[in-house]
Amino acid sequence: MNRSEEPGSWPRDAPPPLPDELVDGDVQDPGQGAGAFFHRRYVARIRDTAVGPEALMERLQGDPDRAAPSEFATFKRVDGDGSPMQPGDEYVVRMPGPWDGPVRVVETTPRSFRLVTLGGHLEAGQIVFRASGGNGRLEFEIESWARSGDRLSDLLYDRLRMSKEVQLHMWISFLEKVIELSGGVREGPLEVETRRLEEDQLAD
């Protein structure tokens, strides 16, 4: 695994806009968070895959828990009707301890889905899962834009680094599960890139 961290800047590292119709009082965006803001990318490159990016994403949108590392997290859909995800659907990401994270789907495409955090989540921000490539080679990426949800979460995440390491291992394990789900093998190291912005760098 290759890890890097460097200073970020606004608006280069700002999250994508949210659709107005899916924003309400439950949404927890970075402006409501605490502490530093982190723009992160977790990337796996895969060769000899049995499926293309659309087929892989169809499996994940049908049930994101297929790639969830059960020792770290499970995705539980709030309505539980079993249909493929679509904007407006809500999930709870259940983690050991007091880490449960409610999220809402704000965008789906044939190759991606994007979530926003809701009230009570440890973080305030967004995360997108996307697949690209073809002809036996894929790139799978998890990209997030977030701050801690409150001052206590910031202490655990950025100061004591407890939940930060749990989060890192969770998404690395998710990438490894995606590789298995694709039927391929990892090509090169996993990449983890972090761009950090301090509170005074954020737009009002």
Domains of the chain from N-terminus onward = 28-80+87-198 (3.30.530.20)
- Rounded-to-integer distance, Cα 199 and Cα 186, Å: 36
Three-class DSSP category at 158: helix
Burial of 38 (0-12, 13-18, 19+ CB in 10 A): buried
Measured distance between the N- and C-terminal CA atoms of the chain, rounded to whole angstroms = 35
pLDDT value at 184 more than 90: yes
Nearest to 99 by CA among 135, 74, 127: 74
Dump pLDDT digits (tens) for 65-98.
Answer: 899 877 667 888 887 666 789 999 999 987 765 5
Query: pLDDT tier at 31 (50, 70, 90 boundaries)?
Result: confident
DSSP state letters, 74-134: EEEESS---PPP-TT-EEEEE-TTT--EEEEEEEEETTEEEEEEBTT-SEEEEEEEEEEEE
Q: Full-prediction pTM beyond 0.85? A: yes
